[in-house]
Amino acid sequence: MSSLIEHYPSAEFFDELLDAERQPRPAARALFEHLRALDAAGLDERREAVNAAIMTMGITFTVYSEAGNIDRAWPFDIIPRVLSRKEWTRIEEGLKQRLTALNMFINDLYNEQNIVRDGVFPLEVLEGSRNFRAQCKGITPRFGVWAHVCGTDLVRDKDGTVYVLEDNLRVPSGVSYMLENRQLMKRLFPDLFQASDILPVDDYPARLHDTLAALSPRTGLRPVVVVLTPGIYNSAYFEHSYLAQKMGAFLVEGSDLVVGEDDYVYMKTVSGLRRVDVIYRRIDDDFLDPEVFRPDSALGVKGLMRAWRAGHVGIANAPGAGVADDKVVYAFVPKVIRYYLNEEPIIPNVPSYLCMVEEDREYVLANLDKLVVKPANESGGYGMLIGPRATPEQRDEFAALIRANPRNYMAQPTLALSTAPTLVDHHLEPRHLDLRPFILQSDKLYCTTGGLTRVAMQAGSLVVNSSQGGGAKDTWIVDVD
């Protein structure tokens, strides 16, 4: 019997399983030995079992296309990504540090704006922010926290350094897939879970509920928590319904809620109206309240901002939190951490060039063939230029876009993202990946032990988003000596 791992190619980049001498990294020894005992037939059998389970459990995501919305089975790779607890402890500290500072930053922007007055954060960037909501000025939510749920994307470069790639502070998604990935792996490799000290992720729904419950304006009783979804056609609807069920919360659409003359939010039930204490909203700001934002929105709740401003309901994430979810603002986060916490950032940013700065802009325009260029407010990997793989025509098009609106663009060097073994056809191949842990903040801070590892399923690709052909892996944080 020939083991697939023996034929796994030598690493061109930093590999999460094997070091430069092709030896397993300490946290991955048990996984390596297990893979060495399996041949192609054994892995294929497990892959077929997990694909059948995904279909049975209805784990899907939606892809929007010209042909309509298409539900697809969750693309899952059965070879996990492994990190040590020692490494993870420092990453967790860095993630908590980052979210703490970002929430202080958001609260400052909507109130005193000291960071602007002190010249640390440019007024030009704030004035050019698509996600700054003037309607939120003067508000300080409970605990001073605006972004209660954050999904921070991490990448590892060729030298092993872990960087923050971006912060997702508006309506970050993917945590349900992290949880389901773990359940699938427990079914596939029960013996490995018994032999390895893999830290759990299963407590996330309870932690999320506690985070939300702390926002309730009513004390002394169990709060009524709802998950506000745009509906079944949203790409993350599986996650909305999944989290509502796991938390014991109500899954509602905008039409299920009403704001009374008393500025309290009520849920329509067969027994009449029931007061709502906390809303975990999965709707963008623009569609949240037609009285304040887009008047044509049929997804939100008229008067919701009045109720929130009056302190009659908690909303997570708070309207306006997206002001810090901007790829240009991202470049200032190290300064934000130093300003509010008087600490050095634990996890570094990827070096960045701001096209609004003349010197940076000239460098970017002269080096488009070497850089990744990103628009400030796009997500999901859309609207960006991967310079080394772009055509001359595409680079020329982006040069024109940058010159026309330099505030909207930033650039970064093309990182040699780390790889991990991925089952492709009937053999293992290295594929690039990133990692999205989830951090919660209200009266307490919590970080998942691991997160959603997203993997580019195409050889050489750096695009890990499921909507563009990426897949996912379970992430194991292993307690080893």
pLDDT digits (tens, 9 = 90+) for 182-197: 988 888 888 888 878 8
The stretch 34-53 carries a mean pLDDT of: 76
**Rounded to whole angstroms, how far apart are CA atoms 248 and 311?**
24
Tell me the pLDDT band of 19, cut-offs 50, 70 and 90. Answer: very high
pLDDT digits (tens, 9 = 90+) for 82-93: 999 999 999 999
The stretch 122-148 carries a mean pLDDT of: 95
pLDDT digits (tens, 9 = 90+) for 48-62: 777 777 666 666 555
User: Do 310 and 262 share a structural domain?
Assistant: yes
Supply the CATH number for residue 227's domain: 3.40.50.11290
Supply the pLDDT for residue 457: 83
- Helix 40-57 to helix 175-188 angle (10° resolution) is 130
Contact status, residue 103 vs residue 146, Cβ threshold 8 Å: yes
pLDDT digits (tens, 9 = 90+) for 200-212: 999 999 999 999 9
**Which structure tokens are listed for 59?**
């784990």
User: Do 314 and 242 share a structural domain?
Assistant: yes
User: Do 366 and 332 share a structural domain?
Assistant: no
User: Do 392 and 295 share a structural domain?
Assistant: no
User: Do 155 and 240 share a structural domain?
Assistant: yes
Q: Is residue 371 part of a domain?
A: yes
**Rounded to whole angstroms, how far apart are CA atoms 334 and 234?**
34
The backbone torsions φ and ψ at residue 129, rounded to the nearest 5 degrees and listed phi first, read -80, 125
Contact status, residue 52 vs residue 78, Cβ threshold 8 Å: no
Contact status, residue 459 vs residue 430, Cβ threshold 8 Å: no
Supply the CATH number for residue 375's domain: 3.30.1490.270
Query: Is pLDDT above 50 for 1?
Result: no
Stretch (H or E) spanning 50:
helix 40-57
The stretch 337-365 carries a mean pLDDT of: 96
Query: Is pLDDT above 70 for 128?
Result: yes
Closest to 288 (Cα-Cα) out of 275, 276, 303: 303
User: Could you give the 3-state DSSP secondary structure of residue 116?
Assistant: helix
Q: Is residue 226 part of a domain?
A: yes
Tell me the pLDDT band of 305, cut-offs 50, 70 and 90. Answer: very high
Burial (CB < 10 A; 0-12, 13-18, 19+), residue 395, is middle
Supply the pLDDT for residue 440: 98
User: Do 251 and 217 share a structural domain?
Assistant: yes
Query: Is pLDDT above 50 for 67?
Result: no
Supply the pLDDT for residue 333: 98
Query: Is pLDDT above 80 for 74?
Result: no
User: Do 207 and 93 share a structural domain?
Assistant: yes
The stretch 317-327 carries a mean pLDDT of: 95
Query: Is pLDDT above 50 for 71?
Result: yes
Tell me the pLDDT band of 461, cut-offs 50, 70 and 90. Answer: confident
Could you write out the DSSP letters of every residue in 298-315?
SSS-TTHHHHHHTTSSEE
Domain final position from 308, 341, 374:
341
pLDDT digits (tens, 9 = 90+) for 259-290: 999 999 999 999 999 999 999 999 999 999 99
Tell me the pLDDT band of 146, cut-offs 50, 70 and 90. Answer: very high
The stretch 162-170 carries a mean pLDDT of: 94
User: Do 332 and 357 share a structural domain?
Assistant: no
Supply the pLDDT for residue 68: 47
Q: Is residue 195 part of a domain?
A: no
Residue 359 structural domain: 353-413
User: Do 278 and 397 share a structural domain?
Assistant: no
The backbone torsions φ and ψ at residue 218, rounded to the nearest 5 degrees and listed phi first, read -100, 135
Neighbours of 186 (CB within 10 A): 14
pTM exceeding the 0.95 threshold for the entire prediction: no
Supply the pLDDT for residue 357: 93
Q: Is residue 284 part of a domain?
A: yes
Tell me the pLDDT band of 467, cut-offs 50, 70 and 90. Answer: low
Contact status, residue 379 vs residue 342, Cβ threshold 8 Å: no
Residue type, 379: S
**Rounded to whole angstroms, how far apart are CA atoms 206 and 221?**
17
The stretch 69-75 carries a mean pLDDT of: 60
Tell me the pLDDT band of 36, cut-offs 50, 70 and 90. Answer: confident
How many domains would you assign to the chain?
2
Supply the pLDDT for residue 7: 80
User: Could you give the 3-state DSSP secondary structure of residue 330?
Assistant: helix
Query: Is pLDDT above 90 for 64?
Result: no
Q: Is residue 118 part of a domain?
A: yes
Domain final position from 341, 362, 379:
341
Could you write out the DSSP letters of every residue in 168-214?
E-SS---HHHHHHHHHHHHHH-HHHHHHS-BPP-TTHHHHHHHHHHT
Domain final position from 341, 364, 389:
341
The stretch 79-106 carries a mean pLDDT of: 97
Instruction: Return the residue matching tokens 């309730």.
Output: 216
The stretch 113-123 carries a mean pLDDT of: 97
Question: Could you tell me which residues are beta bridge partners of residue 53?
Answer: none
pLDDT digits (tens, 9 = 90+) for 229-239: 999 988 889 89
Contact status, residue 159 vs residue 15, Cβ threshold 8 Å: no
User: Do 150 and 287 share a structural domain?
Assistant: yes
Q: What is the DSSP letter of 406?
A: G
Query: Is pLDDT above 60 for 69?
Result: no
Mean pLDDT (the chain, rounded): 90
User: Could you give the 3-state DSSP secondary structure of residue 97?
Assistant: helix
Stretch (H or E) spanning 358:
helix 358-366
Contact status, residue 471 vs residue 184, Cβ threshold 8 Å: no
**Which structure tokens are listed for 349?**
């940013």
Supply the pLDDT for residue 65: 45
Distance linking the first and last C-alpha atoms of the chain: 32
User: Do 245 and 219 share a structural domain?
Assistant: yes
Instruction: Return the residue matching tokens 């059965």.
Output: 78
Contact status, residue 345 vs residue 96, Cβ threshold 8 Å: no
Contact status, residue 151 vs residue 173, Cβ threshold 8 Å: yes
